[in-house]
Structure 1
Amino acid sequence: MTDALNTLPDSQTADQPSDQELKAKRKKSLSFVALIVILAVILYLIWKLFFNHSVSTDNAYVGAETATVTSMVTGQVAEVLVSDTHQVKKGDLLVVVDNRDAKIALAQAQAELAKAKRQYKQTSANSNSLNSQIYVSDDVIHSAEAQVAKAQADAGKAQDELQRRSQLAASGAISKEELSTAQSAVNTAKASLDVAQAGLNQAKSSQKAAQSNKAANDALIQGSNENSAPDVLVAQTRVEQALLDLERTQIKAPFDGVVTSRKIQVGQRVAPGSVLLMVVPLSQLYVDANFKESQLENVQPGQKVALTSDLYGDSVEYQGTVVGFSGGTGSAFALIPAQNATGNWIKVVQRLPVRIQLDPKELAEHPLRVGLSMEAKIDLTSK
């Protein structure tokens, strides 16, 4: 029994590893971990140098600069020639507004234009007539001046006769009746002189009035003709506005596209600014790809982008080009922006919209629609 007790510790001691073996195992484990870390670093460097040439996202959607077609005139809708999903070409007629009011306004504007031209002709004729009156008034003034001279001579003669008769009356050579007659003749001559002088003044005043009227008429037509007079130009502008309003009763497509969101019916009354429908340009679509902010370090405008849509799957690949970046993230322009100045703030990786232009030829072969989901992959080496 004593031998058994003596042999038990020796067997346990033989089963336990020595310190050297433990150190060897520990060294081997650390070497294995170091090897894994070195391999990971090497793989990361290989990926970084040779394979990290693109960034991708599936948070991308098709967009377009849609046209909201509105009415420019007031009136009742007479015809609606399109419906939703209709494809239209630039200049195709979409909606017709009742044009009878516009035709009446055009006729009134044309009548005002004709009246303005006639008034210009009348003003021009008045200037010629006033010019003739000025020439005639010269003759009238000369005649009035002759009448004044004659009246002055008669008044002087009558005054001389009165003076002689006054001297004779003092000596009793003539009667008082003859002296009174001479005095009456002087008074009559003076009155005739006053009348002649008034006639001369009236003739001069008439000439000045004619000259003033002519100057006023000349100011109205000076430097212009029948087509360039101010009143005529104003009337012509009203005619052009009426023509434009008449043309706007026929609402046409601004470009090629598909009609959507039709909101108008026949018989409905519209006013300027009323929304009628929308036109989506299918040949001018783009993609807004929302990349994480950590992906955009090396993204630049002009880089090529490979895109696929959920509509066609991976069998159809679009080739796009980075156009630019949005001015801010979606949350920055939200109706109620996020308020991060709180005690329970948690950092969230933000996404920035990147605008990608699509090839019109590829869109013609495989049409897309606004709002469809896309996957975008930017080639960072394609500058």
Structure 2
Amino acid sequence: MQQSYFAVKLSPLYEALIPAEEDMAQASARVDEERAKAVEAAVAPRNDNAPAAETTPADAAPEAKADAPATPQSSEVAPAAAPQPGALATQDGPVIDGEAKPARSRKKAGIFALFLVLLLGAFIAWYPLSDRYAPYAGAGSIVAEVTQISARVPGPVAEVAIKDNAEVTAGEMLFRIDDTTYRMDVELARAQLDTVLNSVNSGAAALPATQAKVEQAQLALTTAIGDYERARSLEAKGVVSAVRLTQAETARANAELNLAAATAELERVETSMGGIDANNPNIRSARASLEKAEFALASTTVVAPADGYVTNVALTEGQYVGAGTGALTFIRPSTQMIMADFRENQLINVEPGDRALVTFEAAPGKQFEATIDSIAWGINAGRTSANGLAQPTTDTRWFPPARKIPVRVTLNDPSELPANARLGSEAGVMVIPEDGIIPAIARALLSFGGFTSGFN
């Protein structure tokens, strides 16, 4: 009974407070709804497929009304919730702190993506244009004439006069072969020449006597022929007997034999002599043998063929060296040039005499003026012949590697070659067939690449 009494007494007051509580709940719901819309607008572009909220603050308001406690009734509407200290204000109402940052981030990402697309497009366009108007080969190298120095004659090494990687001048001794046996050969050849000369001189002394014998035999034959003719005439007249004619005929025959013998002796002497001048074959043969022995003796000393450098020296005294066997390597710096391999499509506008720029790993950041010397006429295509038939390639790749053609490049001023550059040092070569924007850009990139190469 008492509880019902209080309920009856308080019900008018409770009913008066309900409208004020309802107005406050509606105002709070509107604020929550504005905030939810702002959050949804910020999140929607990134997640358009996100499911909508099943309930909203406005939908939950009736339930809140039913459970809300009774408060004094008031005709004033509760003011809207004030923005938080870190919130941002817009035309549509308060915005939660940080909701503008995703928009700025998306804008920056779009600009960056556009930049990447433009950069990729520029790279794709630059690749074929640079190959045509400013072809570049970055795997070039310094080459020069390299000679394997060997001895002309075999023998043990008697002396090594240079060290490995030494600089030498033309005619400087590199090493020497033991010359003991070669000096003996020279003495033997000289003795043989003296023997020939003595033989020739002996024949020359006997020549006058032999010639006199021939003349005497010729005179005796002439006399015998005259006697025979007179005896035959007298025998025909009956003045002399037939016996006398026979004796005269025998004397003539003996004179002919003596002349033939004297002539043969003269020819033998003249043949043995062969003359005492340079046309004598015996003298020429003996002198050639002597010159050969002297040349072999001189060849025991191996000298540098020109100014240059020696490397790969591995000789020791007493080591036996065969004739023609490489003993060390000689590099002739005066023949140095740059060899670079260009792809076939890079050589469309390249001709001998074109201008080129060269960079060296040994000189970062520097460019050297050069000229195209020559372009190789052919390379090994890999099609070897077997039994006279062509052997096809077995490469089945969709994009086989491009074939490259060697190109020789010479520096306009060989003295500019870096002092620390060595044979085989890496070099980059850019050909400038003609001036233009693309070659200018290529030169700038080459300069930048030259500076960065120093950090390798």
Q: TM-score, normalised by structure 1?
A: 0.67
The unaligned stretches of length 5 or more in structure 2 are 1-116, 436-456
Mapping of residues 120-199 of structure 1, within 5 Å: 120-138=200-218, 140-141=220-221, 198=250
After superposition, the C-alpha distances for 1:5-63 in whole angstroms (9 at most, x for unaligned) are: xxxxxxxxxxxxxxxxxxxxxxxxxxxxxxx99xx89x979x969x9642112111111
- Distance between the aligned counterparts of 1:110 and 1:248, measured in 2? 18
- Does residue 205 (structure 1) correspond to residue 257 (structure 2)? The answer is yes
- Distance between the aligned counterparts of 1:362 and 1:313, measured in 2? 14
CA contact (8 A) 2:165 2:312 kept: no
Structure 1 residues 333, 263: closer, same or farther in 2, change over 3 A? farther
- Distance between the aligned counterparts of 1:273 and 1:233, measured in 2? 28
- Does residue 319 (structure 1) correspond to residue 373 (structure 2)? The answer is no
Structure 1 residues 123, 44: closer, same or farther in 2, change over 3 A? same
Cα drift, residue 225 of structure 1: 3.9
- Distance between the aligned counterparts of 2:162 and 2:311, measured in 1? 10
After superposition, the C-alpha distances for 1:85-129 in whole angstroms (9 at most, x for unaligned) are: 111111110011111211111111122222222222333333322
CA contact (8 A) 1:117 1:226 kept: no
Mapping of residues 29-178 of structure 1, within 5 Å: 53-138=133-218, 140-141=220-221
- Distance between the aligned counterparts of 1:116 and 1:345, measured in 2? 79
- Distance between the aligned counterparts of 1:367 and 1:279, measured in 2? 18
- Distance between the aligned counterparts of 2:325 and 2:409, measured in 1? 32
From 396, 409, 414, the equivalent of 1:360 is 414
Structure 1 residues 341, 356: closer, same or farther in 2, change over 3 A? same
- Distance between the aligned counterparts of 2:218 and 2:397, measured in 1? 103
- Distance between the aligned counterparts of 1:127 and 1:77, measured in 2? 51
- Does residue 259 (structure 1) correspond to residue 310 (structure 2)? The answer is yes
- Distance between the aligned counterparts of 1:344 and 1:226, measured in 2? 77
Q: Kindly name which structure, 1 or 2, has the bigger radius of gyration based on alpha carbons.
A: 2
CA contact (8 A) 1:109 1:238 kept: yes
- Distance between the aligned counterparts of 1:204 and 1:325, measured in 2? 82
- Distance between the aligned counterparts of 1:347 and 1:146, measured in 2? 106
Residue-pair matches, total: 310
**Match for 1:300: what amino acid?**
E
- 3-state SS of 1:84 partner: coil
**Match for 2:298: what amino acid?**
E
- Distance between the aligned counterparts of 1:275 and 1:211, measured in 2? 59
Correspondence for 2:301: 250
**Match for 1:322: what amino acid?**
I
- 3-state SS of 2:345 partner: helix
Correspondence for 2:87: none
Of residues 195-204 and 318-327 in structure 1, the stretch that sits farther from structure 2 once superposed is 195-204
- Distance between the aligned counterparts of 1:324 and 1:334, measured in 2? 26
- 3-state SS of 2:215 partner: helix
Structure 1 residues 53, 195: closer, same or farther in 2, change over 3 A? same
- Distance between the aligned counterparts of 1:353 and 1:150, measured in 2? 99
Aligned-residue RMSD, C-alpha: 4.1
Cα drift, residue 77 of structure 1: 0.8
- 3-state SS of 2:334 partner: helix
**Match for 1:114: what amino acid?**
D
- Does residue 236 (structure 1) correspond to residue 287 (structure 2)? The answer is yes
Correspondence for 1:283: 334
Of residues 349-358 and 194-203 in structure 1, the stretch that sits farther from structure 2 once superposed is 194-203
- Distance between the aligned counterparts of 1:371 and 1:355, measured in 2? 14
CA contact (8 A) 2:375 2:407 kept: yes
- Distance between the aligned counterparts of 1:79 and 1:150, measured in 2? 87
The unaligned stretches of length 5 or more in structure 1 are 1-35, 161-185
- 3-state SS of 1:131 partner: helix
**Match for 1:128: what amino acid?**
P
- Distance between the aligned counterparts of 2:318 and 2:384, measured in 1? 39
Cα drift, residue 217 of structure 1: 4.2
Cα drift, residue 283 of structure 1: 3.4
- Distance between the aligned counterparts of 2:420 and 2:385, measured in 1? 33
**Match for 1:106: what amino acid?**
V
- 3-state SS of 2:153 partner: coil
Correspondence for 1:28: none
Structure 1 residues 333, 286: closer, same or farther in 2, change over 3 A? farther
- Distance between the aligned counterparts of 2:225 and 2:132, measured in 1? 112
- Does residue 328 (structure 1) correspond to residue 378 (structure 2)? The answer is yes
- Distance between the aligned counterparts of 1:147 and 1:227, measured in 2? 47
CA contact (8 A) 1:144 1:200 kept: yes
- Distance between the aligned counterparts of 1:367 and 1:282, measured in 2? 13
CA contact (8 A) 1:59 1:374 kept: yes
- Distance between the aligned counterparts of 1:246 and 1:217, measured in 2? 36
After superposition, the C-alpha distances for 1:267-299 in whole angstroms (9 at most, x for unaligned) are: 112221111101112332111111111111011
CA contact (8 A) 2:148 2:326 kept: yes
CA contact (8 A) 2:355 2:431 kept: yes
